[in-house]
Structure 1
Amino acid sequence: MILILGGTTEGRIAARTLEEAGKPFYYSTKGDEQEVTMHHGIRLHGAMDELDLERCCREHNIQLLVDAAHPFAIQLHQTVEKVAHTLDLYVIRFERIYPPRDEEHITWCDDFEDAIRQIKKEDIFTLLALTGVQSIAKLKPLWQESACCYFRILNRESSRRLAEREGFPEKNLYYYHADEDERILLQKLRPEAILIKESGLSGGFNEKVKAALAEGIRIFAIRCPDTPGSFIPIDGEHGLRRMVENILPDFYPLRSGLSTGTCAAAAAVAATWDLFNLERRPRPAVFPVLLPNGETIYVPVEKQKSWPNAGFLNGNWMADAEASVIKDAGDDPDITNGMEIRANVAVPFRMDDPEPEDTPVDDYTIIVSGGEGVGIVTMPGLGLEVGGPAINNTPRKMIEDNVKLFLKHLRVPKQPNPFVVTISVPGGEEIARRTFNPRLGIEGGISIIGTSGIVKPFSSEAFVDSIRKSMEVGRATGSPRIVLNSGAKSEKYVRGYYPELPAQAFIHYGNFIGDTIKIAADLEIKAVTLGIMIGKAVKLAEGNLDTHSKQVTMNKDFLREVALSAGCGGETLAVIEKITLARELWTLLSAEDLQAFCSRLLELCHQYCDPLLPEGELTILLISEEGKIIT
């Protein structure tokens, strides 16, 4: 059993991540005011000292602790460390993502006592503290003795009681409002300075700093305290899941894996390390990779097979190094699982190149190219240059960003010439023949893909079960309508279409359209909306109620039938012959033919979906990549 110590944004993310397993776990908070949607999680309330936490762990057979509490909850971290040591438990620390410390514009303080000392030293009289209600007591020497202090606190009765108990004047209390521009309160109070905690991105640190700088207000910030060294740090949902899979292999029914893009980025980082490892130290077994969501995971790389090369090529002095990662797709049935993803990093030098600058900079130039086993794009429509390597934009940016970050970490001076990263996949050309790549116009190898950097497999049974539970929660809110959407992108657009509905009313169906509508019928939901992108809509209109790409691909013969039955002309038929992906229809069809085609497509979708909801009303929204909606 797993116990999450939450009460934070990270706690919510941790609970959501464990929910994917479909198994029970515990979620503990000091109070009961945080709203957390859980189907399998068991809620615990109340502060726990060392004895309480040890007793809780023993009673509930806790095997793993996830400390997702506030970074400034020092006493709790110490308690967790002691109990984990006593019971021989692993502790995963769900840390926040922190921006680099700005030493130029921010006065940094070690703790509250240091903050009081520095604020007094600077003769600050009006101060706005954005450090939470608990800090009212810690800052008494300021607001009782020398400064006019304002505190912004949560609009909770418990917070008001705590402020009152400390004797803080109510007139100097202001309340936090979600999504409110930080400048509004600053413009109203015009303090000489603000005091903030190093609370990370999820704590709104950047927004507070930006607002204060814009208003010309001084900034004092308390550094985040260190957490115990025995904790295993992660800073996002993917890292949490991978660590849980490692510590408790049986918790998730299916193991997550890495995308080819993540493997390529890790190999590129390792090769960069090799290139500048002048002392020839042993290569680390794992390297950090920054994922598109901002979190960092560590990826195993293969042992170093050769030292970097250096020599003349085409009249230039060239240095290069190579590293590789073995693709681990987890339990996803990925044809590329176990393949070697190789990266070569090279930088050319000319004899007349100027000397590198003394200080590292952030504007390194990175060129990403494809080598052996990486396909070449031969048709438009994929959003990639025809004739270029089939390396999608997200993994391409991952490779560029991670190499740049590592160059900066290594303090490599700016180079006059670009770094060239060549990604290759030995055996990729043979493997690609067994994929849909040839149909998409990708020849000679596989494509380097990935949107999140992580492959999260779901068993059909577990995923459909989670859909049912989510819909039960949505129904319990009393929402007049349940809105089904395939994922985060389509949800963003349909939320704008139904702004009055609660968040719980929006349910992700993934690819299980038929099963999801049947669940709505079972639960006797009367009004259902299905939001769908055109790629899935084309598959659904042909009668495929499971639209996973491994189950069905776009059928051009069917597209022609739809166009003809919609009364579209020869120009539309010619477009269909040329397209690679269905989403191209949004931009390539005339406005008149697009409306006719989409209307016919929706009619066919209704033919297959309406019978699944016999006692309810089904609305289907067809959504473009830019959020245009056709009904």
Structure 2
Amino acid sequence: MILLFGGTTEGRQAAALCDRLARPFIYSTRSRVEPFATSHGEFRHGSLDEAAMAELVASRNVRLVIDAAHPFASHLHHSLFEVCQRLAVRLIRFDRPVSPLPSALWIHPVADFTEALGLLERLAPAKLLALTGVQSIAPLRPWWRRSEMLLRILPTRTSIEQARREGFPEAKLLPMSPDGPDEALEALVREHGVDCLLAKESGESGFFPVKLRVAERCGIPVVVIRRPVAPTWDTIVFSAEDLEARLTERADLKPLRTGYTTGACAAAATKAAMIALLDGAAPDSVTITLPSGKVASFGIVSYRAEQGRARCGVRKFAGDDPDVTHGLLIVSEVSLLPDGDPDEVRFLQGEGVGRVTLPGLEIPPGEPAINPVPRRMIRECIAEALRQRGLRHAVAVTISAPGGEAVARKTMNKRLGITGGISILGTSGEVVPYSMEAWLASIRNAIAVAAANGCATIALTSGLRSERHLRALFTDLPELACIHYGNSIGRTLEMAREHGGFSRVIVGVMLAKATKLAQGQADLSSRVVPLDPHWLANLAADLGYRPEITSQLADLRLVRNVTELIPFTIDEPLYPAIANACHRVCRQWLPDTPLTFVLLDLEGKSVISA
């Protein structure tokens, strides 16, 4: 899935390209836009803060973000940059080329609207024409409330309604497209007796050169708000052709980089800390053997030694995996215990590392969330350091991850009863990008924790949105009982059967994925199983729907458009038929446990098959 931030000429170009390349995408804008024809896109609108962006990226399995928003959407650009860096999601900036601003006495560059207002006070125009759009009404309010100002805005219902809400005088609104020739803007200036222009440095596609030419031709000053400072983009393109080249790069020629688990980082930090404790100084790097058998080297990025204790840190590198712990500092502090048994290693909880509070995991309640394999690796590093120096001591080791508590909110730790921070994980020591084994292991853990904490019923959903819909239907479902299968519905049901002990399993599936499940698919990913509109059309025909309906179903490009043809209600035969088919398919993976299947639409309406 591609997340595309648009509302601009570049945004529509990027959307058209994604459509032509058959890449599914979400077209996101701050304000509602008129939907355009698309076979592979969907629309959303509304402002997003960083938390909402991160949830959207995670919940929709976004693997690429295209930022084609307006150059002046500074807060959006920086938020997107931070979110994509944190989640290790690829980000492409589709920008407008910047030409040097001419040096002329009639061109007055300013940094922002505040500086523009100050300059306007000095220029004192009799009538200002602002070409800065509807979003500039609020920052320009001190001027237009007491001075003559015309405002050109896009001729859309959304822009006009926003101007009304802001209280701008309708008589001074000029709803018109900015893409006309120089003569159209010049006629506007002369007709209204405009003696000053206000514009943004919006580039060629923002028709900025037109505004400069008209100001020069009319002999009036133009106040230019310069582009805000942008993030340091890793990938930036200035044309649809360049963007297409990026989207069609041969991914198989660029192998994904593996990374290292938090457990491997903790072991490496421990080895360095033991050297610092016993020898008085930490090395610049250490080498350890991973459980996979590979040898890996880790740089030491922080070090401190005090009387009787030492601490060292390793920066977590997750390779090309979208791991939320990527970039965290994993710190190990070690000290010798005077009262412990020789060879004892006592694990203590540090800042940002969670504590286990519920049964069902490999680590008992009350212990820091450091899994068995990382514990073994840490013990081996401690034992090796002591043995090389002919020593035997009990050692206390405190693993911490500054900032880990905030990062843990983006994981399922709280649901598994791990509080206060991240888990120190890893079985091989390596992070394999997009590892299905890691995903299935997390599902298996969730099932085990639900069972160990008395959940007789578990609910399986693809993600948070379908979980919310399901818990609204089954209000007695605790959060602990809700398990996300992503796309792996077949394997998740098999794991529920293998674990056993549940009196009921509820499966919630959104309509699009349900059409694939109903055909017997165990993996519901769009990359694995494409939409089959002919199956839907044939099912509808068998149920007696009119030929004009079935022919339109056969031409569908998005399953969500089904509900535009056939309302999503239990009274329509199509939806119970899909739900019953899904129920029968689920039975092949969970044949004995009572099963309830819930078919859901985007608004949370449901059709149940039990």
Normalising to structure 1: TM-score of the pair?
0.38
Normalising to structure 2: TM-score of the pair?
0.39
